[in-house]
């Protein structure tokens, strides 16, 4: 499904292939327990911001980033599955807590060979973790350009 890049859109966080969360091999992500969104199966190790906003938190293991978008969404970018077990090995943060980022800014780099060699799936789930009042409008699956390809269009329901 094609749509134009505009407000209320999350873009791909990596070069690769976007897919629905239901295809991620982790029950918490696949069932939507942690929020609504999408995932990217990365082709390389550069991870981009899907939104314009502020870095709210970075996991000590550098595998997960929480961003507060300018329109008030809490967005989680989770690099790999069960990668917290790596304790930061193979991850490099390119941002700090409190930094302002724009759509497409590089937020992290990851050694995909390290993940895959350790049998860690390299999918990158991207979740809106405060989905109350937010609905998915469109989801684009398939080939992506990190930091550019619109993947997830949403609508904020005003009360």
Written as six digits, the tokens of 61 are: 């293991």
Cα separation, 35 vs 138, whole angstroms:
16
> 103: closest CA among 24, 8, 29, 16?
8
- Does residue 85 contact residue 114 with C-beta atoms inside 8 Å? no
* Cα three-residue angle 20-50-135, rounded to 5 degrees: 55
Q: What is the DSSP letter of 43?
A: S
pLDDT values of the chain reduced to their tens digit, one per residue, 159 residues? 444 445 799 999 999 999 999 999 999 999 999 999 999 999 999 999 999 999 999 999 999 999 999 999 999 999 999 999 999 999 999 999 999 999 999 999 999 999 999 999 999 999 999 999 999 999 999 999 999 999 999 999 865
The three-point CA angle 125-129-134 to 5° equals: 110
- Would you state the pLDDT for residue 3? 47
What pLDDT is stored for residue 1 in this prediction?
40
**Please, what are the domains in the chain?**
9-156 (2.70.70.10)
What is the DSSP pairing of strand 106-110 with strand 91-93? Answer: antiparallel
Active site residues: 78
| CA atoms of 10 and 138, how far apart (whole Å) | 11
Q: What is the pTM of this model?
A: 0.95
Q: What is the pLDDT of residue 158?
A: 66
Instruction: Measure the N-to-C terminal CA separation of the chain; round to a whole number of Å.
Output: 28
DSSP code of residue 26: S
How far apart CA 121 and CA 124 sit, in angstroms, is: 9
């Amino acid at each position: 499904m094609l749509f134009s890049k505009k407000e209320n859109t999350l873009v791909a966080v990596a070069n690769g292939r976007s897919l629905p969360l239901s295809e991620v091999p982790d029950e918490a992500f696949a069932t939507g327990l942690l929020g609504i969104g999408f995932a990217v199966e990365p082709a390389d190790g550069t991870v981009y911001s899907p939104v314009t906003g502020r870095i709210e938190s970075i996991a000590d293991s550098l595998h997960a980033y929480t961003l507060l978008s300018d329109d008030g969404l809490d967005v989680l970018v989770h690099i790999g599955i069960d990668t917290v077990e790596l304790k930061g090995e193979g991850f490099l943060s390119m941002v700090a807590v409190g930094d302002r980022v724009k759509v497409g800014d590089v937020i992290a780099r990851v050694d995909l060979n390290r993940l895959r060699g350790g049998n860690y799936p390299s999918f990158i789930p991207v979740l809106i973790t405060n989905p109350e009042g937010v609905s998915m409008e469109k989801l684009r699956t398939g080939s992506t350009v990190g930091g550019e390809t619109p993947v997830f269009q949403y609508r904020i329901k005003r009360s």
